[in-house]
Amino acid sequence: AIERTLSIIKPDAVGKNAIGAIFSRFEAAGLTIVATKMKHLSQAEAEGFYAEHRERGFFNDLVAFMTSGPVVVSALQGENAVLAHRDILGATNPKDAAPGTIRADFAVSIDENAAHGSDSTTSAAREIGYFFSELEVFARTR
Ligand code: CMP
């Protein structure tokens, strides 16, 4: 089915000047960027986005990292977009990420792992709505 998913290029990858390289991989995988913006998250915005991880030991470090510099948030659309996006990102820990995946190529650690992708269509709907209004998401027309 055609799905949408939320993608974040994290501060480490933005700092490596890799926005375009990562966008190219989305497009090469058949995903269309239907919304995008660059944003420096506030502490409250990062905490709200990652609310499901609030009780995890890594939560404070995660929020500190995600607010350390600008990120690029995008909504991607395509066939099976949630899994297709996660496949090209590779495993959360870049040490486990398959060769040729975004995390294998751009990330150094599980904390600074280059990119985030929604883990289900349910979280995708919440995460896209967290950053974009309906009018900011452009349905693919051709
Ligand atoms: P992300 O997909 O953005 O979702 C939560 C982030 O927490 C994850 O990527 C990692 O960057 C970070 N993180 C740090 N430690 C862990 C861990 N042990 N398990 C899962 N995520 C972790």
Measured from the Cβ of residue 19, the count of other Cβ atoms closer than 10 Å reads 17
When comparing pLDDT for 139 and 141, which is higher?
Answer: 139
ipTM associated with this complex: 0.97
Contact call for residues 32 and 140 (beta carbons, < 8 A) = yes
Average pLDDT over residues 8-14: 98
**d(Cα 84, Cα 102) in Å, to the nearest integer?**
12
Q: Which of 40, 53, 85, 116 is catalytic?
A: 116
Query: Is the beta carbon of 113 within 6 A of some atom in ligand 1?
Result: yes
The model's pTM is 0.97
- Binding-site residues from annotation for ATP: 10, 58, 86, 92, 103, 113
- Six-digit token pair at 58? 């890594």
**d(Cα 60, Cα 50) in Å, to the nearest integer?**
10
* Cα(66) to centroid(ligand 1), Å: 11
Mean pLDDT of the residues in the chain: 97
- According to the model, what pLDDT value does residue 65 have? 98
Active site residue 116: yes
Contacts of 92 (CB under 8 A, 6+ apart): 103, 110, 113
